Structure 1
Amino acid sequence: MNVLIVYAHPEPKSLNGSLKDFALKRLQDAGHAVQVSDLYAMQWKASLDANDSIERQANERFFPSRESKHAFENGLQSADIAREQGKLMWADAVILQFPLWWFSMPAILKGWVERVYAYGLAYGVGEHSDARWGERYGEGKFAGKRAMLMVTTGGWESHYSPRGINGPMDDVLFPIQHGILYYPGFDVLPPFVVYRTSRIDEENYGAVRDALGQRLDDLWTTKPIPFRQQNGGAYAIPALTLRDDLVPDRVGFAAHVE
């Protein structure tokens, strides 16, 4: 299988750097082909702007989604964007690896998503009618591919528990897992999360490494998070609200998981 690791940490000697190196070797030793997009090492341009298109449309102002659609359809994207899109289409599984900074991914990784997820590739796909609302949330160009987050955080696991002060980790990661990954069609696996990173030393690093190794070994057998499909009948279209008879006592993020 083909695996793409999109890695976002500025220090190669960090815990993240060590886990990335371990993941690369573990996957390769298992016979998988692996590519790594090391965003800091690549000096990835994080900001989406008019320079992402080789030849702009003759508009008076920059309209990001229209420019993205025009560039994607006509082969006018900047070379760095096109290369990353090629890796995405090549991959059978994608791993996004990052430290949790201010309850989200580092800006450089968010910029990778914003620039690489072009109109016509990750969104703006499929018909919009009274029966369907595009190919998304379980459908899309990345359907059939798997995705997983590898996340580190300085907080305690209890801080991200159901009653923890930071909110449940599943809720913190919901915009990434449900929005960035499930939206364009990925089957999203439960995340691999390392807590209390300041307490990870040589003595307990082995346990973290072994747990990650098992998750990588199980990359193609782990059951995905059972997010509800948008066009599967659970949602009223075009309002895209969950049907009144489905889990009527449940609201928020949890309502969108079967």
Structure 2
Amino acid sequence: MQQALIALAHPDPASFSHAVAAAYAQGVAAAGHRAEIADLAAEGFDPRFTAQDLALHRREAPPAADVAAEQARIDRADALVLVYPVYWWAMPGLLKGWIDRVFANGWAYEESPGGPLLKKLRHLDVHLLAVGGASQRTYARHGYFGAMKTQIEHGIFDYCGAKVRRSELLLDADPAHLQTARALGARLFATEPAAALPA
């Protein structure tokens, strides 16, 4: 049995993002695995990067208790799934602040002056589910798919060595996306080639 950590960043429990995360978790459970939802807003995670976080980055201090707890939660997971609404062509500040603080020097990667970069999350598989309100044509016209790949897949996860296995953009709050999310969750730990997903 494997475990997925689903990190969710939306303040409204009745949001479509919450429904997508729940459907994904249902799919994981239906396939016989465990899913934990990290509801960052409900849990009150503080996304502010403080002097203590900077000291951790400089390797001058240990991580704050909330950061250490999140790192341990990721360490227990076999896959990390991010579910988030698209705000201003990016992920919400809450989720970005979670990444800023938790994916710290010494844990996610290791760098030192003049030394090589050590990518420490090579074992971690990442799956992205972004929920957007515009049409696919709008996202394509403005190059958002490429921007996501550069900013999130390359800029964050490749830097740490984590592998982004799947990146989905679910648009227009279509209820059919819940079926897609369940199917994606059910296939998360499948070893055989993925079957076609529902349209």
Q: TM-score, normalised by structure 2?
A: 0.86
Task: State which of 57, 60, 63 in structure 2 corresponds to 1:65.
Answer: 57
Whether 1:134 and 2:120 are equivalent positions in the alignment is no
In the alignment, structure 1 segments of 5+ residues that lack a partner are 53-61, 224-258
Q: Deviations over 1:112-158 (max 9, x none)?
A: 011111211123258966xxx322xxxx2211221011111111001
The within-5 A match list for 1:92-111 is 92-111=78-97
Deviates more, 1:214-223 or 1:3-12: 214-223
Q: Which residue of 2 aligns with 1:253?
A: none
Q: Which residue of 2 aligns with 1:143?
A: 122
Distance in 1 of aligned mates of 2:10 and 2:177: 18
Deviates more, 1:95-104 or 1:166-175: 166-175
In terms of fraction of residues, the more strand-rich structure is 2
Deviates more, 1:81-90 or 1:118-127: 118-127
| SS in structure 1 of the partner of residue 128 of structure 2 | strand
Whether 1:219 and 2:188 are equivalent positions in the alignment is yes
8 A Cα contact 1:3 1:91, kept in partner? yes
Q: Which residue of 2 aligns with 1:248?
A: none
Q: Which residue of 1 aligns with 2:168?
A: 192
Q: Which has the larger radius of gyration?
A: 1
Task: State which of 175, 178, 199 in structure 2 corresponds to 1:209.
Answer: 178
In the alignment, structure 2 segments of 5+ residues that lack a partner are 194-199
Q: Deviations over 1:93-127 (max 9, x none)?
A: 00111001011110111110111112111232589
Q: Percent identity?
A: 29
Q: Which residue of 1 aligns with 2:147?
A: 171
Whether 1:78 and 2:61 are equivalent positions in the alignment is no
- Which of the pair has the greater relative contact order for Cα pairs under 8 Å at 6+ separation? 2
State the shift of 1:190 in Å.
2.8
Aligned length: 191
State the shift of 1:92 in Å.
1.0
| SS in structure 2 of the partner of residue 36 of structure 1 | strand
One-letter code aligned to 1:113: I
8 A Cα contact 2:89 2:144, kept in partner? no
| SS in structure 2 of the partner of residue 70 of structure 1 | coil
Distance in 1 of aligned mates of 2:162 and 2:52: 29
Q: Which runs of 4+ in 1 moved over 3 A?
A: 125-129, 220-223
Q: 1:102 to 1:95 in 2, by over 3 A?
A: same
Q: Which residue of 1 aligns with 2:138?
A: 159
Task: State which of 88, 105, 121 in structure 2 corresponds to 1:119.
Answer: 105
Q: Deviations over 1:62-109 (max 9, x none)?
A: 66631xx232xxxx3221111000011111100111001011110111
8 A Cα contact 2:9 2:95, kept in partner? yes
Q: TM-score, normalised by structure 1?
A: 0.67
